[in-house]
Amino acid sequence: MNGFLELLSYPFVMRAVTAGTLISVCASVLGVILVLKHYSLIGHGLSEIGFASLSAASALGLPAMAITTPAVITASFIIMYVSQRYRTAGDIAIAIASSAALSLGVIVSSVSGQTSNMSSYLFGSILAMSDSDLLLSVMLSAAVMAVFILFYNRLFLITYNEDYARSLGINTALYQAVISVLTALVVVMGMRFMGTLLISSVIILPAVTARQIASGFRLLVVLSGIISLIAFILGLMVSFMLNLPAGASVVMVNAVILIIVKVLFRK
Amino acid sequence: MTERLRLEHAVIKYGDNTAVNDVSLSVCSGEMVFITGANGSGKSTLTRGIAGLLTLSSGTLERNGRMSYVPQVEEADRNFPARVREIVLTGTQRPGRLFYSRDDRLRAEGAMRELGIDGLADREIRTLSGGQLRRVFLARALCGEPELLLLDEPCAGLDAESHEVLFSVLGRIIAEGCAVLMVTHDVSDLDWINASRIITLSEGRIKIS
Ligand SMILES: Nc1ncnc2c1ncn2[C@@H]1O[C@H](COP(=O)(O)OP(=O)(O)O)[C@@H](O)[C@H]1O
Ligand SMILES: [Mg+2]
């Protein structure tokens, strides 16, 4: 415990913890909408596509983030559109396309001899955060918060019943686009420290946990963020004390919290 | 009498399946128009087309004035974490306004009172019966102060008392000049109110008008 606090006195650790906390809170808050709209798959799909793009970019010697960010944003639009339009068949198509992307990424990485990069993309590395990443995560969190405060009533309406919102003349595609872009940015930022394979858990698990307790949408959003925050910090402490990978520890803590809540709040 | 809705030669398709075929109709303020027909005859598709949720493959749709739509209750997500009051309030939302005014809240309370669900205002929607949820959707539509009201099977599964509440509300807003288009597959609903017109659909076409 003392060791953990001591570690925080190093600026690069503090930076990583701050950025990581902000991103996982954003992920879990957006996760509420994604889970309620049955878009739970999206985080997973996006991170696999992000992985393929990161691998391809680094194999070709291109700037990784500059390529991956627009690629993932584009993918998020396509995935939301497809899963809305084609429902279950769409989900299956997304699962197939994104695992194909993941495999492609693995192949590209190994052919180009980038296997060490590959492992850090797959499992994440909390210390991968730079100063500019910290700045980006602060900006992203501010954007997510602003969207939830300004557009709360709209998000509530659209998440509950998009058709009804459209019948009122509300431009639901615009809000959908905002959520798509924010989700894509959270995935791109988050996959680097949580890992490609685990970022989607940070999107989904806190929302599912909060759903067991909260009876209203507003409380659900707030609770999901708080659970994610606690799970992230606890996960990092566990990872430091037991010398375990950070991303995996955060997900494990999230899973344990979910199980405890399920047992305590059995409905 | 202002014409609130005018549909001409409307065709709506799902892929190759033509669900609404060459339907023309108009509804003016103060009119009560019924649409009846068997299951699968295209009533809901027609209503969704008028509500702007489906695009016409051909034909024209003209609407003028504020519209409220009461969807079939079966389309609702019963498990959504929300309370009755929050759902009713959403009926006051419109483009360009992000927050509820005091007036919006008063109208929501008024609509709940009129429909006899003010006692349920703080209940979670997943704890409601189908009939109660119908009243919630009706209250949501009412507090948007519609000039054109579309109702898709609002009576299915309603008890006699709820029927009475529904038709007394409809009577009031029609008298105030609202145009109402109501879908029902149960012709006994027609006994409750004076219809301006009854349109019967069969396989997507108008049979008797
Ligand atoms: N979402 C849909 N996709 C494809 N076909 C549909 C869809 N909804 C309805 N249909 C078809 O359109 C026809 C009319 O359906 P509907 O408008 O729901 O009828 P009603 O409301 O009169 O029972 C039916 O043949 C139905 O199978
Ligand atoms: Mg129907």
Is residue B208 over pLDDT 60? yes
Summary mean pLDDT of chain B: 92
- For residue A41, the model assigns a pLDDT of 82
Give the closest of A157, A214, A215 to B90, CB-based: A157
- For residue B209, the model assigns a pLDDT of 52
A4 and chain B: CB distance < 8 Å anywhere? no
CB–CB contact A170 B87 (8 Å): no
Contacts of B19 (CB under 8 A, 6+ apart): B12, B13, B42, B45, B204
Ligand 1 nearest atom to the CA of residue B45, by list position:
17
- For residue A197, the model assigns a pLDDT of 81
- For residue B30, the model assigns a pLDDT of 95
Residue of A nearest to B95 (CA): A170
- For residue A267, the model assigns a pLDDT of 63
pLDDT tens digits along A154-190:
999 999 999 999 999 999 999 999 999 999 999 999 9
For the question of whether the overall pTM of this predicted structure is more than 0.90, the answer is yes
| Residues of chain A contacting B126 with CB distance shorter than 8 Å | none
Give the CA count within 13 Å in the CB-facing half-sphere of B94: 12
Ligand 1 nearest atom to the CA of residue B15, by list position:
4
Higher pLDDT, B86 or B75: B86
Residue nearest to atom 12 of ligand 1 (CA): B19
Contacts of B123 (CB under 8 A, 6+ apart): B83, B84
B69 and chain A: CB distance < 8 Å anywhere? yes
| Average pLDDT of the residues in A18-28 | 94
Ligand 1 nearest atom to the CA of residue B37, by list position:
22
Q: Counting beta carbons within 10 angstroms of the beta carbon of residue B44, is it exposed (0 to 12), middle (13 to 18) or buried (19 or more)?
A: buried
B67 and chain A: CB distance < 8 Å anywhere? yes
B80 and chain A: CB distance < 8 Å anywhere? yes
Is residue A42 over pLDDT 90? no
- For residue A6, the model assigns a pLDDT of 84
Report the Cα A179 to chain-centroid distance in Å.
12
- For residue A251, the model assigns a pLDDT of 94
Is residue B98 over pLDDT 70? yes
A171 and chain B: CB distance < 8 Å anywhere? yes
When mean pLDDT is compared across A165-169, B16-20, B75-79, B109-113, the lowest value belongs to B75-79
* pLDDT-based confidence at residue A1 (cuts at 50, 70, 90): low
Higher pLDDT, B95 or A39: B95
Transcribe B135-195 into DSSP letters: HHHHHHHHTT--SEEEEES-STT--HHHHHHHHHHHHHHHHTT-EEEEE-S-GGGGGGS--
Summary mean pLDDT of chain A: 90
A15 and chain B: CB distance < 8 Å anywhere? no
CB–CB contact A170 B95 (8 Å): yes
Q: What percent of chain A has pLDDT over 90?
A: 54
- For residue A61, the model assigns a pLDDT of 86
- For residue A86, the model assigns a pLDDT of 81
For residue A263 the two structure tokens come to 């047992």
Ligand 1 pocket mutation, candidates B17, B35, B202, criterion most atoms within 8 A of CB: B17
Q: What is residue B83's DSSP assignment?
A: B
- For residue A58, the model assigns a pLDDT of 85
pLDDT tens digits along A204-224:
999 999 999 998 999 999 999
* Rounded CA separation A207/A216 (Å): 12
Ligand 1 nearest atom to the CA of residue B42, by list position:
17
Task: Give A254 to chain B, closest Cα distance, Å.
Answer: 21
- For residue B120, the model assigns a pLDDT of 96
CB–CB contact B82 A163 (8 Å): no
Question: Would you say B205 and B23 are in contact if contact means Cβ atoms under 8 Å apart?
Answer: yes
| Residues of chain B contacting A211 with CB distance shorter than 8 Å | 81
- For residue A13, the model assigns a pLDDT of 83
- For residue B189, the model assigns a pLDDT of 79
pLDDT tens digits along A224-239:
999 999 999 999 999 9
When mean pLDDT is compared across A93-97, A132-136, B194-198, the lowest value belongs to A93-97
Domains detected in chain A: 2-261 (1.10.3470.10)
User: Which stretches within chain A are classed as H helix?
Assistant: 2-8, 11-36, 41-59, 64-111, 115-123, 131-150, 152-160, 162-167, 172-194, 199-213, 217-242, 246-264
Contacts of A247 (CB under 8 A, 6+ apart): A123, A124, A126, A193, A194, A195, A198, A199
| Average pLDDT of the residues in B32-51 | 95
